[in-house]
Amino acid sequence: MRFFSDNTGAASPEILAAIQAANHGLVTAYGNDPWTKRLDECFGAYFGTEVRAFAVATGTAANALSLATLSPSYGLIFADVEAHIANDECGAPGFLSGGAQLCLLPSEHGKVTHAALAAALEAHPASVHTLQPTVLALSQATELGTVYRPDELGALCQLAHEHGLKVQMDGARFANAVTFLGCHPGDVTWRAGVDVLSFGATKNGALAAEAVVFFDPALVRDFELRRKQSGHLLSKSRYVSAQLLSYVESNLWRRNAERTNSFAQKIAHAAGRLLLHPVEANELFLALGPERKRALRQAGFEFYDWGAVSSGKARFVVSWDQREEDVLALCEALRGLHR
C-alpha cells in the first residue's frame, strides 16, 4: 500500500486512449502538428484569457525553463524554503538560468507570507554589487499540501509587481488546488497576477506532460529557444500535446483531483491531531515518531520520512489510482494509533 508520491501512479486510461488516438499517420514534427497547434486555444478556454502554452515532459523543465526566461544569470528568485525548486530539482533553476540564485523565505505551512516577502524585498535592494530581485516563485498547491486563497495570491503578486518582479507559479498540483478552492482556474493565476504557470498533469494522471502557460506573451520567443536549447522540445510533440488536451478538455484534471482530494480528507480526518499542516490537496504530513512509523510500515503502509529521520515526521501522498480499500485501511490504521 504505497503512499510515497503521486509520481508512483500510472497513467489514467483517458491519457493512454488519447495517445492511441493520436497514433496514426505522418504529421509534422516538433510541434507543427494538429494537437500541439490547439494548445493555445485549449488553455485559453481553460483560463478564460488569451495565453501561449507550451508542452514539456517534466515539471523540473517547466519550472526551471520558465524561471530562466524570467531571470538573467544575475537574478534573485524568491521562493519559500519548502519549494520544490529549492529542494528537489538539483539546482535546475540556477543551472538553466546560468547562475540565478534562490532566496528562500520562511513559510507558514508551505506558503510565502506577505510579511516575509516584504522583509526580503527590503533586505535585498538592488545595486550593481548584488543579485537583482527578478521573480517571486510560488507553488499552488504548496509542497506542504496547502493552498493559497485568491486574495492571498493577489496581495503577494501585487507586492512583487510593485518591486518589478515577475511571478511564476509551480502548479505541479494545480488541479488539486483549484478543486479544493472550487474557483475558476483564472482566479488563482492571471486574475491574481501570476505571469507564468507550470501547469502539471503528470502527478495527476498523465504519463509525462506539463504545460508552461504564459499569461504575458512577450517572453515567448525566448522561452521557445531555451526549451529547444535545453533539449526539451519533443520531436513527436503530438503525444505530449494529446495528453494535455485530453487532460484539460475531458475534465480528467478535475475528476482525478476530486478523488485524491477526497481521499486525503478521509485520511486527514483519521489522522486528527497527528497532522502537521492543514490538508488542502492530496498530501498529508504527520508527526508520527519512530514507534508509529514502525507500526504502520509493519502493517504494510509505504511512505517517506519527511525531513530528518530523527524528526519523526512522515509524508503521505494520494495518487489518482490509489485503491479505495488501501485508503480506508490507512484511515483505520491511523485511528488505531490514537487508541
Of residues 306-335, which lie at the interface with a copy of itself (CB under 8 A)?
A: 307-308, 319, 321-322
Does residue 122 interact with a copy of itself by CB under 8 A? yes
* DSSP of 30-89: TT-SHHHHTHHHHHHHHHTS--EEEEES-HHHHHHHHHHHH--TTEEEEEETT-HHHHSS
Q: Which stretch binds a copy of itself (CB under 8 A): 140-148, 182-190, 221-229, 327-335?
A: 221-229
Q: Which is nearer to a copy of itself, 129 or 339 (CB)?
A: 129
Q: Which of residues 83-102 bind a copy of itself (CB under 8 A)?
A: 87-92, 94-102
Does residue 290 interact with a copy of itself by CB under 8 A? no
Count Cβ atoms within 10 A of the Cβ of residue 224 and give its class: 0-12 exposed, 13-18 middle, 19 or more buried.
middle
Determine the size of the site formed for a copy of itself (CB under 8 A). 81
Does residue 220 interact with a copy of itself by CB under 8 A? no
Using CB under 8 A, pick the residue from 21, 28, 50, 335 that binds a copy of itself. Answer: 28
Does residue 239 interact with a copy of itself by CB under 8 A? yes
Does residue 56 interact with a copy of itself by CB under 8 A? yes
Q: What's the CA gap between 216 and 133, in Å, rounded?
A: 19
Shortest reach from residue 298's CB to a copy of itself, in Å = 19
Whether cis (ω within 30° of 0) applies to the bond prior to 308 is no
CB 14 within 8 A of CB 176: no
Shortest reach from residue 75's CB to a copy of itself, in Å = 8
Does residue 20 interact with a copy of itself by CB under 8 A? yes
Q: Residue 75: beta bridge partners?
A: 132
Count Cβ atoms within 10 A of the Cβ of residue 8 and give its class: 0-12 exposed, 13-18 middle, 19 or more buried.
middle
Q: What's the CA gap between 284 and 125, in Å, rounded?
A: 37
Q: Which of residues 174-213 bind a copy of itself (CB under 8 A)?
A: 202-203, 207-208
Shortest reach from residue 175's CB to a copy of itself, in Å = 16
Q: Which stretch binds a copy of itself (CB under 8 A): 36-44, 64-72, 144-152, 273-281?
A: 64-72
DSSP single-letter state for residue 150: H
Q: What's the CA gap between 169 and 189, in Å, rounded?
A: 8
Q: Which stretch binds a copy of itself (CB under 8 A): 125-133, 162-170, 180-188, 275-283?
A: 125-133
Using CB under 8 A, pick the residue from 232, 277, 292, 293 that binds a copy of itself. Answer: 232
> Which three cell numbers mark 326?
488501501
